[in-house]
Amino acid sequence: MSADLGTGLAYQRKMPVWWWLRKRSYFLFVMRELSSIFIAWLVLYLLLFVRAVAHGPAAYDDYLDWAASPVLVVVNVVAFAFVLLHTFTWFQLTPKAMVLAVRGHRVPPWAIIGVQYVGLGAMSAFIAWLVLS
Amino acid sequence: MDDSISMRVGRYRPERDHEPYWQDYDVPLRPEWTVLDGLNHVKNELDTTLAYRWSCRMGICGSCGMNVQGEPKLTCATFLSDYAPGPVKVEPLANFPIVRDLVVDIGDFMEKLPRVMPWIIRDDDVTEIDGEYLQTPEELDAYKQFSMCINCMLCYAACPVYGLDPDFVGPAAIALAERYDLDSRDAGARKRLDVLIEHDGVWGCTFVGECSAVCPKHVDPAGAIQRYKLKAATQSVKAFLLPRGAR
């Protein structure tokens, strides 16, 4: 790491393997990092859906049967929970990275976070309308 | 309230120990006593061999940082009574090599700090000899928060990224780079970005956020790093899209 004041005797500690279980914030951080895998899974799941639609009604029905299997339902429920964590933590991060000023006054963090939730809500409502109507 | 508390102190004497160990001391528990007061009592009354750093006793000098009950703290601003009935564990700051007892080797931080050029860089020949650099209160507010850093290195002790990858420049150094970038008198942003855009710079950070949580001066290094990432990303996009003259 660095010079140890010339003694050669400085004691270098190692991070324990389970360091991320020592503190709630560390654990949440590792879960957030892990959520990326589930995001990738859902992208793949969507691409498979698009491919099934492109291959005609039989392939689409097969996809729906596969999607309804208990294992996949469990995987997707877990993936959805991780997506929620991912979204929440990403929205929380935004005001840290973006410092916006309107007429010389700094936009408060809650406003930046709020706008994102409004956007998410509007987009979700639009997709729900598209699917259900 | 009990009239004493046990302090479990990390010891390591390189000439005789192969690894650190714990030593317990009973010290008086007084409402106004900090962890540093407890250590001073040990040093003065119980065990003169104990080594630790301290100076101002008022949260200014940044030299008494240690891990108290596993959390990086300024020991001069951490009260023993908050850990009653004890024992209270006092260890050297995490993520740094231990030189002796509670003293860590800060050489790595001292080497990294000047890399981000934490001083005012001008692109003209005007110096302080030519007169004052005038600044409005708004211009001062833009960077003041980041200028409160006292180099106590608690943020490095809290950062698992630094613990896992010691090449990471680290929170305080990046916060100080941002402090000078935001200073209206400074013109060195481009030079600092060249340093921090490297692999060991801002992109090493995965935003755990603990650096800001433990900062005794509310500097918010995590915020500074995320702002820097945005700046670095914007620069990269500009470099890709715009002709050289317009960047």
Measured between CA atoms, the residue of chain A closest to residue B221 is A96
User: Any residues with CB less than 8 A from the CB of B153 and at least 6 apart, and which?
Assistant: B62, B65, B93, B96, B106, B109, B172
Which residues of chain B carry a pLDDT beneath 70? Answer: 1, 245-247
For residues B151 and A44, give the distance between their C-alpha atoms in angstroms, rounded to a whole number. 46
Residue A93 has pLDDT above 90, yes or no: no
Give the ipTM: 0.84
Q: What is the pLDDT of residue B247?
A: 57
Q: How close B185 comes to chain A (CA, Å)? A: 19
pLDDT at B242: 80
State the count of interchain CB pairs (< 8 A) between A and B: 78
Task: Give pLDDT tens digits for B72-98.
Answer: 999 999 999 999 998 999 999 999 999
A4 CB neighbours in chain B (<8 A) are 97, 99, 105, 107
The model's pLDDT over A21-70, given as tens digits with 9 standing for 90+, comes to: 999 999 999 999 999 999 999 999 999 999 999 999 999 999 999 999 99
Provide the pLDDT for residue A3: 45
Q: What's the pLDDT tens digit per position in B14-59?
A: 999 999 999 999 999 999 999 999 999 999 999 999 999 999 999 9
| DSSP-assigned letters across all residues of A42-93 | HHHHHHHHHHHHHT-HHHHHHHHHHHTSHHHHHHHHHHHHHHHHHHHHHHHH
Q: What is the pLDDT of residue B245?
A: 65
pLDDT score for A110: 93
* A42 vs A2, more confident: A42
Q: Where along chain A do its domains lie?
A: 30-132
Query: What values do phi and psi take at B220, rounded to 5?
Result: 60, 60
Fold observed for domain A30-132: 3 helical TM bundles of succinate and fumarate reductases (1.20.1300)
Are A7 and B14 within 8 A, CB to CB? yes
Chain B residues closer than 8 Å to A9 by CB: 14-15
Burial B161-195 (b: 16+ CB within 10 A, else e): bbbeebebbbbbbbbbbbbbbbbeebebbeebbeb
Alpha carbon distance A22, B227 (integer Å):
28
- Confidence at residue A33, expressed as pLDDT on a 0 to 100 scale: 93
Please give the model's pTM, rounded to 2 decimal places. Answer: 0.89
Whether residue A76 has pLDDT greater than 50: yes
CB contact under 8 A, B213 and A25: yes
B208 with A10: Cβ contact below 8 A: no
d(CA B81, CA B1): 9
φ/ψ of A81, rounded to 5, equals: -60, -40
Confidence at residue A120, expressed as pLDDT on a 0 to 100 scale: 96
Instruction: State the average pLDDT for chain A.
Output: 90
